[in-house]
């Protein structure tokens, strides 16, 4: 799974940066202990792999967009961010991540209802994608 590519697609995009999602605000699941209290952030989690053919499959990846309740009590930025992430992911083809994996392509699966994360004290929603990835072969 191309974890770096999934993050890079978000923080390298000018529209996402304009919404406050810079590199230091995009994390992999379990990489964040204390969330920011003054800015929105994204957590990317792997939901596992689905078998497609033989031992080949596609990854299920979710982007969780959070905004601290102390900053805003409206899902507007969350929805705008998810709209943009959905546009970016389905338009991506053969994106090489810094971790040696390539995101070959992705299709959108679903988006959650409005949620509240009591642990982080945030408004949150997620969008899930089915993604094909492969490692880059170096010779």
Average pLDDT of 48-74?
83
Residue 137 has pLDDT above 70, yes or no: no
The pLDDT > 90 percentage for the chain reads 65
Q: What is the pLDDT of residue 48?
A: 78
Distance CA(54)–CA(46), nearest Å, equals 21
CA–CA distance from 77 to each of 6, 25, 63, 71 (Å)? 20, 14, 14, 11
Average pLDDT, the chain: 90
Domain 3-135 has CATH 3.40.50.20: no
The region that residue 88 occupies, defined by phi over 0 for left and psi between -120 and 50 for alpha, beta otherwise, is alpha
For 26-59, the pLDDT digits (tens) are 999 888 888 889 999 999 998 877 766 655 568 8
pTM above 0.85, yes or no: yes
Distance CA(125)–CA(127), nearest Å, equals 7
For 17-26, the pLDDT digits (tens) are 999 999 999 9
Q: Output 124 or 100, whichever has higher pLDDT.
A: 124
Please say whether the beta carbons of 79 and 66 come within 8 A: no
Categorize the per-residue pLDDT at 97 as very low, low, confident or very high, splitting at 50, 70 and 90.
confident
């Amino acid at each position: 799974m191309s974890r770096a590519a999934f993050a890079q697609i978000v923080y390298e995009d000018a529209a996402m940066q304009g919404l406050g999602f810079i590199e230091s605000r995009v994390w992999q699941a379990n990489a964040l202990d204390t969330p920011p209290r003054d800015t929105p952030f994204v957590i990317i989690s792997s939901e596992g792999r689905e078998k497609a053919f033989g031992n080949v499959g596609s990854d299920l990846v979710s982007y969780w967009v959070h905004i601290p309740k102390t900053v805003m009590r409206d899902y507007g930025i969350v929805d705008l961010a998810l709209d943009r992430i959905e546009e970016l992911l389905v338009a991506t083809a053969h994106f090489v991540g810094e971790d040696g994996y390539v995101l070959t392509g992705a299709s959108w699966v679903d988006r959650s209802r409005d949620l509240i994360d009591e642990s982080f004290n945030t408004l949150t929603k997620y969008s899930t994608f089915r993604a094909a990835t492969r490692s880059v072969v170096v010779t």
